[in-house]
């Protein structure tokens, strides 16, 4: 529905790939009668591609793939209640890997290590290190199969910036500067003034991801295992400090160059504006790239991507103050700027319920592996409507697939370059991956950000409130357990 | 002989047998969950592999709402009280005390006194809440927002619904079509209403964007302004529920016996007198009942703010139900139940007070 | 209160006859303005379902064929591409709404009839005792993992053993009005209060995601409405007929079925419509109790908010439209009863 042409093209591409695959991964029909129930968010995004691939999978193996969809906001608790209470109507949940830790710690998710050991097709080495070593794992074992690589990047209008004689911003200060200079220009030729920056700010949507993206490069400089949320040993929140305060302030400041009702915009609204050619700068997951070439887009070939802006100052955790970057504090800095691309949401990953029957579990694993294998996923990630973004290096090797999908060579190179840089960045910031993740970020952080953006409270109050509420949540779940899981989620193993 | 004894027994107890299914269903699906929910409200619950683990924490969930880190959320922010707030609070206190004194002087009974005492305390609490938050320039929490939806929303629905019903109770061409048209919004699912009004309110792509530009509000975003957002939700809620008030009151207006009004006409009463002295007293008991139903339903408002603003900007449009729903969504079941119980208490006290002190009193007076 | 005027038909509006022209103009203006306010959002809904994505995104277009070219893509999406989901949800909604309504009307009107005709005087203390025992049993089973058979047996034994004694000690009797109020007050419960335990309850008997679970829940939440409206309605029916039937030896069931129900057709129709609307549009409980097989239409509406890709306004409009149509048809069919039904019920309230 979103783009008929693309969809048609995609099916032919899949047909071609299948024709080229000499032997299907599994013998025919040996899963006859097996039904795998998958639950995820409403399609066509994420779910739609699983339905298509499910049909192929059934043709190959006989296993029926049923995809059930519930509204995004209810997904987390829906799967957890289903699995915890033993309802067993769901075999596979497809959700953010960050949520998954809670399922794993409740003992509900199948450990996939034995399955992977027997699987010759999955080729883990091809998966980008952050997803392979952090995002798919809990406590050193793989529990999730990545279907989608999520991290945010900065997108800019090449034509607008060129016209204004500006470079894409490298820090958030530059971002505001660029936004202020181009704000009010007509960017799509309709005679109306357009916006310097479009960043969703709606409550109970995605705004807490945006503020974390802005904070990450100020909080974390020592690599993924430094983490952006807590002091790993004491589990004290690392939030009531200058770095987060600055991030909050920047987030609010971007609103001055955005549409007037941005407080009620979620990512869908922001994307619609961006694709309509009304924004000079925006932050987004990988989706804008493929979306920009869909029919009806006003920004085809006019959008560039770079790694999320960084910062010249980084948090000194002991004092809570920002200190200038030096080679000790910021080992990965480039030209004195510390970057920390934030793996917001962590991407859609599949997990298998421990309670399902062995045969169903094997079939479920085979299906997830089938989705994940380069042959399938390298096609899927080039299509905007699937919602899948790259997470394998081979997906970025050549621009051929992307050009075939409709990118110009220059645009494809630019887009893939930005992804490559973010994806393999040693200082990539992990999304929160501990029990209660939803309460820490999507309830507390989100609410305080919203109140600050709506001028209900000052930024100091906001971070103080978050600190207090996070401490309460930590106490509720047990400080020691939380500290242990947090450390493991960051790969700290002492 | 056996059969006749059975049928005799059946006959004697038939009344109970008629009532039983309803009572059993309510006990199982309403009272049992209510008790279970209360238990959850005193605990922290976590879902685990074997079902769930329960840890009792006493009153902590409630304490957090009223005095702890969630106080601003449910009740509002308290800093200092302004002169107006103080004045209003004192006046309300005096008024309430005076009301109690009047009652005790007139006719005293223990049950009546206790019942009024509960109403008194609730009204006192709400009055001070009002003066300490809104009147003192502080923010109010979800409870204040809910009361705003209930009182302002139901007030508007009552006024417009009654006016429309009165207008339609005259006989003229086209009344039937008006009736059908006016009834339609009630049939739309509240979620749908939320989305429809989001389309209506879109200042750039919505049908009224031209109007917005014309009056110079093209840059104004209703969703970024707390009061505009709240009012907009009330507009959507009214759009949906005025039909209900309308249809009920229309029936009431039409049941006013014609000979009464005709007699008044003969006595030389004008239209206004006829309305206030004959029609309105006749309709009043129905009106009170209808409003009670509406108030009860209005306290539960959750779909509209959820769809239209997700509770934003900040927490400006969040209702108590929505707050509980958000807590539930992140699986914080203890908090969710505690918040829901607070809502239940406030609703019960306000509705029962309204029923006893207004509806019954009016009915007594009318008969 | 006054008795309904029997001389003229109940539903003949007071004939004001010669209104001044100015009054008429004002009246029509007000009513037409209100009709516009009511109808415009619905008109917008209808045209949105025929708009292309571009036509929705590029600003307000009002008139099909003039402003924009209507397209059937949203309808095609609903009835061709996703027809399986659409029809399943539609079918579920119909089955659930109709069954729940039928059940609620049956159980509710029986209770209402009993309350309006038979005098009950249950002992308050015995009831409190019963509820207390029930709660204790629930706690024992739910939290301390006592075997439910043991707990139930103990509770029943205790109840019968002590009920009479305790009941005799305190003679605080309830009346019909109190029972009625208790039933009606159930409507005050916000669904969010009870939804978690209800979920767990259905889970333990493996009924989640079935029609039965949703039907039962809807029946209960709508019982108060039925009892409330039907109680008033039954009270307004004169008792002479029943008394003479009783003399002829008719039983209560017989009277209820052959005299009362036919007489209350109007009230039943009005109540049915109201309850169907409430069931048809309910979202929160349906969301909890269904995962997949039993999903209803409101969930389909909510699912049209595809998050990252924005809201699929066009398809959503089409879904809302197909949700309204059956209710409107039903309302028109039942129209002549509704006014009368509500009239008697409400006026007597």
Across A103-124, average pLDDT: 89
From residue B60, give the alpha-carbon distance in Å to each of B3, B68, B240. Answer: 59, 9, 38
Instruction: Check if B227 contacts A (Cβ < 8 Å).
Output: no
Residue B239 and residue C37: Cβ atoms within 8 Å?
yes
Closest Cβ opposite residue A442 in set B46, B220, B330: B330
List of chain B residues whose C-beta atoms are within 8 Å of the C-beta of residue C114: 15-16, 18-19
CA nearest to A259 within chain B: B219
Report the alpha-carbon distance of residue A378 to residue A381 in Å, rounded: 6
What lies within 8 Å, CB to CB, of C244 at 6+ separation is none
HEC letters along chain B: CHHHHHHHHHHHHHHHHHHHHHHHHHHHHHHHHHHHHHHHHCEEEEEECCEEEEEECCCHHHHHHHCCCCHHHHCECCCCCCHHHHHHHHHHHHHHHHHHHHHHHHCCCHHHHHHHHHHHHHHHHHHHHHHHCCCCCCCECHHHHHHHHHHHHHHHHHHHHHHHHHHHCCCCCCHHHHHHHHHHHHHCCHHHHHHHHHHHHCCCCCCCHHHHHHCCCCCCCHHHCHHHHHHHHHHHHHHHHHHHHHHHHHHHHHCCCHHHHHHHHHCCCCHHHHHHHHHHHHHHHHHHHHHHHHHHHHCCCCHHHHHHCCCCCCCCCCCHHHHHHHHHHCCCHHHHHHHHHHHHHHHHHHHHHHHHHHHHHHHHHHC
User: Does residue A182 carry a pLDDT above 90?
Assistant: yes
| Whether the Cβ atoms of residue A254 and residue A154 lie closer than 8 Å to each other | no
Could you report the predicted ipTM of this complex, rounded to two decimals?
A: 0.85
CB burial string A251-274: b at 16+ within 10 A, e below: bbbbbebbbbbbbbbbbbbbbbbb
- Token couple for B294: 């509406």
Interface test with B, best of A237, A456, A468 (most B CBs within 10 A): A456
More confident residue, A248 or A191: A248
More confident residue, C317 or C208: C317
| Whether the Cβ atoms of residue A307 and residue A422 lie closer than 8 Å to each other | yes
Nearest-Cα distance to chain A for C126, in Å, is 35
List of chain C residues whose C-beta atoms are within 8 Å of the C-beta of residue B297: 187
Q: Is B312 left (phi over 0), alpha (psi -120 to 50) or beta?
A: beta
Interface test with A, best of C293, C308, C318 (most A CBs within 10 A): C308
Nearest-Cα distance to chain B for A273, in Å, is 11
What lies within 8 Å, CB to CB, of B361 at 6+ separation is none
From residue A293, give the alpha-carbon distance in Å to each of A189, A280, A298, C28, C108. Answer: 18, 17, 9, 53, 59
Number of Cα atoms under 13 Å in the Cβ half of residue B148: 25
Rg of the Cα trace of chain B? 25
| Whether the Cβ atoms of residue A281 and residue A180 lie closer than 8 Å to each other | no
How many pairs of residues across A and B have Cβ atoms under 8 Å apart? Answer: 110
Residue C306 and residue A89: Cβ atoms within 8 Å?
no
- Token couple for B302: 């959750």
Residue B254 and residue C343: Cβ atoms within 8 Å?
yes
Across C45-59, average pLDDT: 84
Residue B18 and residue C332: Cβ atoms within 8 Å?
no
pLDDT in tens, A347-371: 899 999 998 999 999 999 999 999 9
Interface test with A, best of B195, B314, B332 (most A CBs within 10 A): B314
According to the model, what pLDDT value does residue A20 have? 38
Rg of the Cα trace of chain C? 26
Nearest-Cα distance to chain C for A348, in Å, is 13
Q: What are phi and psi of A323, to 5 degrees?
A: -125, 150
Strand A35-40 and strand A64-69: the pairing is: parallel
Report the alpha-carbon distance of residue B219 to residue B225 in Å, rounded: 12
List of chain A residues whose C-beta atoms are within 8 Å of the C-beta of residue B44: 476
Residue A456 and residue B139: Cβ atoms within 8 Å?
yes
Q: How confident is the model at residue C341 (pLDDT cuts 50, 70, 90)?
A: low
Cα four-point dihedral sign C292, C77, A94, A118: positive
Report the alpha-carbon distance of residue A465 to residue B275 in Å, rounded: 56
Closest Cβ opposite residue C349 in set B10, B289, B302: B289
Q: Which residue has the tokens 């049928």?
A: B7
Residue B19 and residue C179: Cβ atoms within 8 Å?
yes
- Token couple for B138: 């502080």
According to the model, what pLDDT value does residue A435 have? 85
Q: Which residue stretches of chain B have pLDDT < 50?
A: 1, 367
Instruction: Check if A190 contacts B (Cβ < 8 Å).
Output: no
Nearest-Cα distance to chain B for C61, in Å, is 7
Residue A87 and residue C208: Cβ atoms within 8 Å?
yes
- Average per-residue pLDDT for chain A: 86
Nearest-Cα distance to chain C for B52, in Å, is 10
Instruction: Check if A476 contacts B (Cβ < 8 Å).
Output: yes
Least confident of A62-66, B242-246, B267-271, C262-266: B267-271
According to the model, what pLDDT value does residue C91 have? 94
Instruction: Check if B335 contacts C (Cβ < 8 Å).
Output: no
Q: How many residues can be counted in chain A?
A: 494
**Whole-prediction pTM:** 0.86
List of chain A residues whose C-beta atoms are within 8 Å of the C-beta of residue C291: 39, 68, 70, 78, 82, 87, 89-90
Across C311-327, average pLDDT: 89
- What is C83-120+222-343's CATH topology? MetI-like fold (1.10.3720)
Q: A90: helix, coil or strand?
A: coil
Report the alpha-carbon distance of residue C273 to residue C122 in Å, rounded: 33
* CB neighbours of residue C265 within 10 Å: 12
- The closest alpha carbon to A316, from A327, A307, A325, belongs to A325
- The H or E element spanning position A359 is helix A358-372
Q: What percent of chain A clears pLDDT 70, i.e. is strictly above it?
A: 93
Domain ranges of chain C: 20-71, 83-120+222-343
According to the model, what pLDDT value does residue C4 have? 39
According to the model, what pLDDT value does residue B263 have? 80
Residue B251 and residue C188: Cβ atoms within 8 Å?
no
Q: A439: helix, coil or strand?
A: helix
Q: How confident is the model at residue C18 (pLDDT cuts 50, 70, 90)?
A: low
Q: What are phi and psi of A39, to 5 degrees?
A: -120, 135
One DSSP character per residue, A124-147 reads GGGB-HHIIIIITEETTEE--EES
Residue A261 and residue B328: Cβ atoms within 8 Å?
no
Instruction: Check if A437 contacts B (Cβ < 8 Å).
Output: no
List of chain C residues whose C-beta atoms are within 8 Å of the C-beta of residue A88: none
CA nearest to C277 within chain B: B187
Closest Cβ opposite residue B315 in set A73, A81, A451: A451
From residue B30, give the alpha-carbon distance in Å to each of B26, C142, C180, C288. Answer: 5, 17, 15, 16
According to the model, what pLDDT value does residue A344 have? 86
Instruction: Check if A474 contacts B (Cβ < 8 Å).
Output: no
CA nearest to C81 within chain A: A1
| Whether the Cβ atoms of residue B201 and residue B233 lie closer than 8 Å to each other | no
Residue B69 and residue A468: Cβ atoms within 8 Å?
yes
User: Does residue A8 carry a pLDDT above 60?
Assistant: no
Across C191-209, average pLDDT: 80
Report the alpha-carbon distance of residue C278 to residue C265 in Å, rounded: 20
Q: Which CATH architecture does the domain made up of B61-77+139-366 adopt? A: Orthogonal Bundle (1.10)
Touching subunits of B (3+ CB pairs, under 8 Å) are A, C
Residue B178 and residue C40: Cβ atoms within 8 Å?
no
Q: Is residue A125 packed enough to be buried (19+ CB in 10 Å), middle (13-18) or exposed (0-12)?
A: exposed
- Token couple for A350: 């599949």
Q: How confident is the model at residue C328 (pLDDT cuts 50, 70, 90)?
A: confident
Interface test with A, best of C85, C142, C197, C306 (most A CBs within 10 A): C306
Across C191-217, average pLDDT: 84
Q: Which residue has the tokens 């999978």?
A: A57
Closest Cβ opposite residue C291 in set A2, A41, A90: A90
Residues 258..317 of B with a Cβ closer than 8 Å to A: which? 309-316
According to the model, what pLDDT value does residue B49 have? 63
Q: What are phi and psi of A157, to 5 degrees?
A: -85, 110
According to the model, what pLDDT value does residue C349 have? 39
Helices (H), chain C: 21-49, 53-57, 73-76, 83-117, 124-142, 148-169, 176-185, 191-204, 211-235, 240-247, 252-255, 261-263, 265-281, 284-289, 297-303, 313-333, 335-348
List of chain C residues whose C-beta atoms are within 8 Å of the C-beta of residue A43: 306
Cα B169 from chain centroid? 27
Q: What are phi and psi of B60, to 5 degrees?
A: -60, -40
Q: Which residue has the tokens 């060129």?
A: A162
Report the alpha-carbon distance of residue A299 to residue A288 in Å, rounded: 10
Q: How confident is the model at residue A315 (pLDDT cuts 50, 70, 90)?
A: very high
According to the model, what pLDDT value does residue A78 have? 82
Number of Cα atoms under 13 Å in the Cβ half of residue C100: 31
């Amino acid at each position: 529905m979103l783009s008929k042409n693309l969809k048609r093209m995609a099916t032919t591409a899949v047909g071609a790939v299948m024709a080229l695959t000499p032997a299907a991964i599994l013998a025919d029909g040996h899963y006859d009668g097996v039904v795998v129930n998958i639950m995820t968010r409403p399609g066509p995004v994420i779910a739609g591609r699983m339905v298509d691939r499910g049909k192929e999978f059934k043709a190959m193996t006989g296993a029926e793939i049923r995809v059930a969809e519930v509204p995004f906001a209810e997904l987390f608790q829906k799967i957890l209640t289903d699995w915890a209470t033993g309802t067993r109507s769901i075999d596979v949940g497809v959700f953010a890997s960050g949520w998954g830790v809670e399922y794993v710690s409740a003992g509900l998710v199948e450990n996939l290590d034995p399955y992977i050991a027997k699987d010759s097709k999955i080729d883990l080495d091809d998966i980008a290190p952050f997803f392979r070593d952090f995002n798919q794992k809990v406590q050193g074992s793989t529990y999730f199969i990545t279907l989608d690589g999520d991290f945010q990047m900065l997108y800019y209008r090449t034509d607008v910036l060129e016209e204004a004689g500006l470079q894409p911003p490298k820090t958030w200060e530059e971002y505001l500067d660029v936004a202020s200079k181009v704000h009010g220009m007509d960017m799509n030729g309709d005679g109306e003034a357009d916006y310097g920056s479009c960043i969703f700010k709606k409550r109970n949507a995605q705004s807490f991801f945006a503020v974390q993206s802005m904070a990450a490069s100020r909080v974390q400089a020592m690599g993924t295992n430094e983490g952006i949320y807590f002091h790993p040993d004491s589990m004290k929140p690392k939030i009531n400090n200058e770095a987060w305060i600055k991030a909050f302030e920047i987030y609010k400041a971007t609103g001055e160059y955005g549409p007037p009702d941005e407080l009620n915009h979620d990512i869908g609204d922001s994307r619609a504006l961006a694709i309509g050619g009304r924004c000079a700068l925006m932050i987004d997951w990988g989706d804008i790239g493929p979306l920009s070439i869909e029919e009806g887009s006003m920004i085809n070939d006019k959008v560039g991507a770079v790694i999320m802006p960084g910062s010249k100052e980084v948090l000194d955790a002991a004092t809570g103050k920002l200190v200038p970057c030096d080679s000790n504090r910021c080992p990965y800095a480039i030209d004195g700027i510390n970057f920390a691309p934030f793996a917001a949401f962590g991407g859609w990953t599949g997990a298998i319920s421990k309670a399902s029957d062995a045969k169903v579990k094997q079939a479920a694993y085979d299906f997830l592996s089938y989705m994940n294998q380069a042959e399938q996923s390298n096609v899927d990630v080039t299509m905007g409507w699937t919602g899948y973004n790259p997470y394998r290096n081979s997906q970025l090797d050549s621009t051929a697939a992307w050009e075939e999908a409709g990118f110009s060579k220059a645009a494809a190179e630019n887009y893939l370059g930005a992804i490559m840089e973010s994806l393999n960045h040693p200082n990539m910031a992990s999304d929160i991956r501990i029990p209660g993740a939803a309460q820490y970020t999507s309830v507390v952080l989100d609410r305080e950000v919203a109140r600050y953006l709506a001028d209900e409270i000052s930024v100091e109050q906001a971070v103080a409130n978050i600190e207090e509420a996070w401490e309460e949540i930590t106490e509720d779940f047990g400080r020691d357990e939380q500290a242990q899981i947090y450390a493991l989620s960051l790969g700290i193993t002492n | 002989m056996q059969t006749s004894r059975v049928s005799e027994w059946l006959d004697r107890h038939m009344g109970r047998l008629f009532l039983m299914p309803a009572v059993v269903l309510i006990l199982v699906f309403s009272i049992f969950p209510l008790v279970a929910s209360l238990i959850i409200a005193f605990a922290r619950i976590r879902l685990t592999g074997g079902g769930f683990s329960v840890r009792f924490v006493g009153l902590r969930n409630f304490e957090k709402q009223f005095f702890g880190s969630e106080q601003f959320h449910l009740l509002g922010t308290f800093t200092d009280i302004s002169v107006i707030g103080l004045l209003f609070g004192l006046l309300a206190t005096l008024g309430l005390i005076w009301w109690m004194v009047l009652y005790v002087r007139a006719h005293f009974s223990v049950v009546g006194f206790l019942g009024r005492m509960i109403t008194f305390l609730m009204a006192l609490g709400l009055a001070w809440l009002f003066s300490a938050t809104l009147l003192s320039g502080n923010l109010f929490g979800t409870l204040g927002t809910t009361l705003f939806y209930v009182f302002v929303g139901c007030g508007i629905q009552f006024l417009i619904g009654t006016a429309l019903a009165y207008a339609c109770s005259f006989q003229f061409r086209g009344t039937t079509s008006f009736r059908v048209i006016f009834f339609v919004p009630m049939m739309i699912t509240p979620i749908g209403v939320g989305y429809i009004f989001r389309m209506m309110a879109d200042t750039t792509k919505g049908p009224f964007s031209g109007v917005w530009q014309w009056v110079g509000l093209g840059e104004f975003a209703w969703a970024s302004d707390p009061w505009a957002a709240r009012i907009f939700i009330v507009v959507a809620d009214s759009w949906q529920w005025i039909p209900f008030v309308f249809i009920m009151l229309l029936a009431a207006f039409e049941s006013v016996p014609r000979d009464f009004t005709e007699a008044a006409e003969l006595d030389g009463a004008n239209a206004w007198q006829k309305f206030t002295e004959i029609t309105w007293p006749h309709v009043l008991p129905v009106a009170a009942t209808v409003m009670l139903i509406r108030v009860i339903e209005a306290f539960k408002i959750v779909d509209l703010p959820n769809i239209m603003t997700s509770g934003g900007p900040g927490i400006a449009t969040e209702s108590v139900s929505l707050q509980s729903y958000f807590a539930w969504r992140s699986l914080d079941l203890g908090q969710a139940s505690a918040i829901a119980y607070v809502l239940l208490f406030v609703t019960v006290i306000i509705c029962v007070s309204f029923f006893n002190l207004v509806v019954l009193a009016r009915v007594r007076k009318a008969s | 209160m006054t008795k309904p005027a029997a001389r003229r038909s109940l539903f003949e509006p007071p004939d004001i006859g010669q209104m001044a022209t100015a009054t008429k103009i004002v009246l029509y203006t007000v009513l037409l303005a209100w009709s516009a306010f009511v109808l415009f959002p619905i008109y917008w809904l209808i045209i949105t379902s025929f708009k292309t994505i571009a036509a929705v995104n590029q600003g307000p277009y009002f008139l099909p064929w003039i402003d924009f070219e209507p397209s059937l893509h949203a309808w095609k999406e609903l009835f061709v591409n996703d027809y399986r989901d659409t029809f399943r949800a539609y079918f579920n909604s119909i089955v659930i709404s109709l069954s729940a309504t039928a059940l609620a009307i049956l159980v509710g009107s029986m209770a209402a009839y009993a309350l309006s005709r038979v005098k009950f005087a249950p002992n308050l203390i015995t009831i409190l005792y019963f509820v207390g025992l029930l709660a204790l049993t629930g706690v024992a089973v739910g939290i301390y993992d006592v075997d439910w058979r043991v707990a139930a047996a103990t509770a029943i034994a205790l109840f019968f053993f002590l009920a009479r004694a305790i009941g005799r000690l305190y003679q605080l009797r309830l009346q019909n009005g109190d029972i009625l109020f208790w039933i009606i007050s159930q409507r005050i419960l916000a669904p969010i209060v009870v939804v978690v335990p209800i979920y767990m309850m259905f889970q333990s008997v493996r009924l989640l995601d079935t029609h039965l679970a949703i039907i039962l829940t809807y029946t209960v939440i709508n019982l108060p409405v039925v009892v409330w409206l039907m109680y008033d309605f039954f009270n307004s029916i004169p008792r002479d007929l029943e008394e003479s039937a009783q003399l002829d030896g008719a039983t209560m069931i017989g009277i209820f079925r052959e005299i009362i129900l036919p007489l209350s057709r109007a009230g039943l129709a009005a109540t049915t419509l109201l309850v169907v609307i409430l069931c048809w549009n309910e979202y929160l409980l349906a969301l909890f109790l269904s995962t997949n097989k039993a999903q209803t239409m409101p969930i389909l509406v909510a699912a049209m908010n595809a998050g990252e890709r924005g809201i699929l306004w066009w398809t959503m409009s089409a879904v809302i439209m197909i949700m309204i149509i059956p209710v409107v048809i039903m309302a028109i069919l039942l129209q002549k009863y509704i006014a009368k039904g509500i009239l008697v019920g409400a006026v007597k309230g």
